Structure 1
Amino acid sequence: MRRALSILASNPLTIAGTLLVALIVLAAALADVIAPFPEHQGAVVDFVNFNKPPDATYIMGTDLVGRDLFTRILYAYRISLILGVAVLAISVPVGVTLGLIAGYLGRRWEYIIMRVTDVFLSIPPLVLALSIMGVLEPTLMNGMLAVTAMWWPWYTRLVYNIARGEKVEGYVLAAEVIGASRAHVMFREILPNCVPAILTKMTLDMGFVILIVSSLSFLGLGVQPPTPDLGSMVAEGADYLPDSWWLSVFPGLAILLAVFGFNLVGDGLRDILGADR
C-alpha cells in the first residue's frame, strides 16, 4: 500500500485521470439530480429554444429540436459506462477462461482456441463490429453484443501468453505434485498472477469501448434516437459546423475526456500493480 501510494503521489497525471473518471462516473450516476432538464433525455421537442448557443440557461446550448445538450451528455455518459461495463463483464470471463485453457493445457486445446482467436484478431475491431451490426437490428443490446464479439480475443491472447510462462514455475509444479486438479491450478494458482495485467487492460479498454460504441452510433449503427448517445450527437451536429459548433464540439469533448481519463488511470494502475514487469 505504501508503495502504491508513493507511485500515485509521484504521478500527477494518474491523480488527474482518477479525478476525471470519478467525476464522469458521479455525473452519470447522479444525472437525474444534476441535469437541469431531465425530460430532455427523451423524445422532447422545444422549437422555441431550438439550436441555441451556450448561455446562462443552456450552458452547452440546445440541439436542433431544443433539447439541452448538457442534460443529454450526462445521460449519454450513463449509457456509455453501462455499455462499457456490460461488454467487459462478458468478454473478460470468456477471454480469460479460454486463455487459461489454451496456455495451461496446451496441445489440441491450444491449437483450436488460439487459431480461432487469431481469426478474430486478424479482423479490424471496428470492421467486425460494423459487419455484425449490418446484419442485426441497430439496438442497444445488439450494439453491446457486436462490441463484445470483438473484445474477448484480446483477453484470450493476453492470458494465454502469461499462462504459458507461469505453468513451468515452481509453485505450479508443486501444486501438480500434491495432486491439485487442473481447474485448481488454472484458477487458484495461475489466474491470480494474471490479475494485474487483466485489471490494467480492463481500465484501458473502458475508454476504447466508449470510443467504439460512439463510432458505431456516429455511423447510425449504435444507440438509436431519441436515446442520448455521444456518437450520434456528434453526427447530428457535423452537418452544421462551423455555425452551430456546440452541437458537435461538446459531445466530442465528452468522448475525449472519457477516453483520456481511463487511459491515464490505466497507465497509473499498470505502474502500481507492476503489470509491466
Structure 2
Amino acid sequence: MSAKSSSVAWTEFRSNPISILGLILVVFCIALALFADVITPYPEHVGPIGDFTAINQAPSAAHWFGTDTIGRDLLTRIIYGFRLSLLMAVLVLSISMPVGVILGLLAGYLGGWVEFVLMRLTDIFLAIPPLVLAMAIMGFLPATLTNAMLAVTVMWWPWYTRLVYNVVRSEAREGYVLAAEVIGASSPHVMFREILPNCAPAVLTKLTLDIGFVVLMVSSLSFLGLGVQPPTPDLGSMVADGAKYMPDAWWLSIFPALAIMVLVLGFNLLGDGLREAFDAEV
C-alpha cells in the first residue's frame, strides 16, 4: 500500500470504536502474558505444587478467581495460560504463514502445472475440517505441546496459500507488474519485490484473525485431552478439568472459558477492524 493509503487506513481504524476495543483487549492479554512472572500472586502454582489447605475455594480476596482441586490459584494459572496460548499461536503461524504465502505466490504467478499441483493439494487440505484433521494427526502422536503445534501447523498453511493465490491472480494483471516484466525483471523479483508487498494488507488481516482461531483450536485439542498435558497451565485443559465439578465449583470452568473468550474476541475485533480499514478480502 502507498503511504497515503496507509494513513487513510489508520485513520479509519482509529475512528472505529470496535477496532479500538479489540486493540485494547489484545494489548491487555499480551501484557498479562509478558509480565506474568511479576503480576501473578502465586507464581509457584504454575506447576504441580498446590496448597491442600485451600482446595476448591470460591473466589475471594486472597484468590480472586478461586482455587483448583489441589489448592492452586486459578488467576495465576489463567494468566500463564494466556502466555502458553499466545506462544503456540505465534509459533504455529510463524511457520504456516510463510509456507502458505510462498506457495500462493508460486501458484498464482507461475501458473501451469505448478498452479495445478499446488492448488489441488491445497483443495485437499481445505476439504477436511481443521479440527478433524488435527485430531487425526494427534491420534498417531503422543499428546505433547510440540505435537499439538505440529498438528495445527499442518492444517493452517492452505488458508494462506488460497488467500495469496487469489490476490496474486488479481495483481498479476496490474500495470506495475507488466512494467517490471517488460524491463526484464526476474520472476522472483516480480513475486517478492513487486507483488508480495501488495498482498501484505490481506495477509496481515488474516494473521490477526487467525491468532484467535489458533488459540481456540489449541484449546479445543487440550479440552479433548489431545493437547497440552498437566500440570502445564492451559486454558482448554482447565475448562475440561473444571467441568467435572460443575455446578458446585463453577469457577473452575467459567473463568478459563471467559479467558479464552476475551482472548479470541480481542483478536477477532482487531482483525475485523484491520479488514475494514484496509478493505482486504480474507
Instruction: Report the AA paired with residue 124 of structure 1.
Output: P
Where does the alignment leave 5 or more consecutive residues of structure 2 unmatched?
1-5
Identity %: 64
- Please give the alpha-carbon distance, in whole angstroms, between the structure 2 residues aligned to 1:165 and 1:11: 29
Structure 1 residue 8 displacement after superposition? 2.9
Q: In the alignment, is residue 26 of structure 1 matched against residue 15 of structure 2?
A: no
Q: Summarize the alignment of residues 167-186 of structure 1 with structure 2, pairs less than 5 Å apart.
A: 167-186=172-191
Q: In the alignment, is residue 149 of structure 1 matched against residue 151 of structure 2?
A: no
Q: Which moved further from structure 2: 2-11 or 145-154?
A: 2-11
- Counterpart in 2 of 1:241? 246
- Counterpart in 1 of 2:229? 224
Instruction: Report the AA paired with residue 217 of structure 2.
Output: I
- Counterpart in 1 of 2:215? 210
- Counterpart in 1 of 2:3? none
- Please give the alpha-carbon distance, in whole angstroms, between the structure 2 residues aligned to 1:6 and 1:167: 29
- Counterpart in 2 of 1:63? 68
Q: How many residues align?
A: 277
For residues 16-51 of structure 1, the C-alpha deviation after alignment (integer angstroms, 9 at most, x for no partner) is 110111000000100000100001000113211010
Structure 1 residue 4 displacement after superposition? 3.6
SS in structure 2 opposite 1:239? helix
- Counterpart in 1 of 2:11? 6
- Please give the alpha-carbon distance, in whole angstroms, between the structure 2 residues aligned to 1:6 and 1:160: 29
Q: In the alignment, is residue 37 of structure 1 matched against residue 47 of structure 2?
A: no
Structure 1 residue 271 displacement after superposition? 2.1
- Please give the alpha-carbon distance, in whole angstroms, between the structure 2 residues aligned to 1:134 and 1:256: 27
Q: Summarize the alignment of residues 122-141 of structure 1 with structure 2, pairs less than 5 Å apart.
A: 122-141=127-146
- Counterpart in 1 of 2:202? 197
Displaced runs of 4+ in structure 1, greater than 3 A? none
Instruction: Report the AA paired with residue 239 of structure 2.
Output: V
Instruction: Report the AA paired with residue 182 of structure 1.
Output: S
For residues 221-249 of structure 1, the C-alpha deviation after alignment (integer angstroms, 9 at most, x for no partner) is 10110000000000000011111100000
For residues 148-192 of structure 1, the C-alpha deviation after alignment (integer angstroms, 9 at most, x for no partner) is 000000000000011111112111111111111110011111111
For residues 36-86 of structure 1, the C-alpha deviation after alignment (integer angstroms, 9 at most, x for no partner) is 000100011321101000000000000011100000000010000000000
Q: What CA RMSD, in Å, does the superposition of the two structures yield over aligned residues?
A: 1.1
- Please give the alpha-carbon distance, in whole angstroms, between the structure 1 residues aligned to 2:35 and 2:54: 25
Where does the alignment leave 5 or more consecutive residues of structure 1 unmatched?
none
Structure 1 residue 5 displacement after superposition? 4.4
Residue number among 51, 54, 58 corresponding to 1:49 in the alignment? 54
Q: Which moved further from structure 2: 163-172 or 190-199?
A: 163-172
For residues 190-222 of structure 1, the C-alpha deviation after alignment (integer angstroms, 9 at most, x for no partner) is 111110000000000000000000000000010
- Counterpart in 2 of 1:264? 269
SS in structure 2 opposite 1:217? helix
TM-score (norm 2): 0.96
Instruction: Report the AA paired with residue 127 of structure 2.
Output: S
Closer/same/farther in 2, CA of residues 235 and 270 from structure 1, 3 Å limit: same
- Please give the alpha-carbon distance, in whole angstroms, between the structure 2 residues aligned to 1:221 and 1:118: 26
TM-score (norm 1): 0.98
- Please give the alpha-carbon distance, in whole angstroms, between the structure 1 residues aligned to 2:9 and 2:41: 39
- Please give the alpha-carbon distance, in whole angstroms, between the structure 2 residues aligned to 1:37 and 1:47: 14
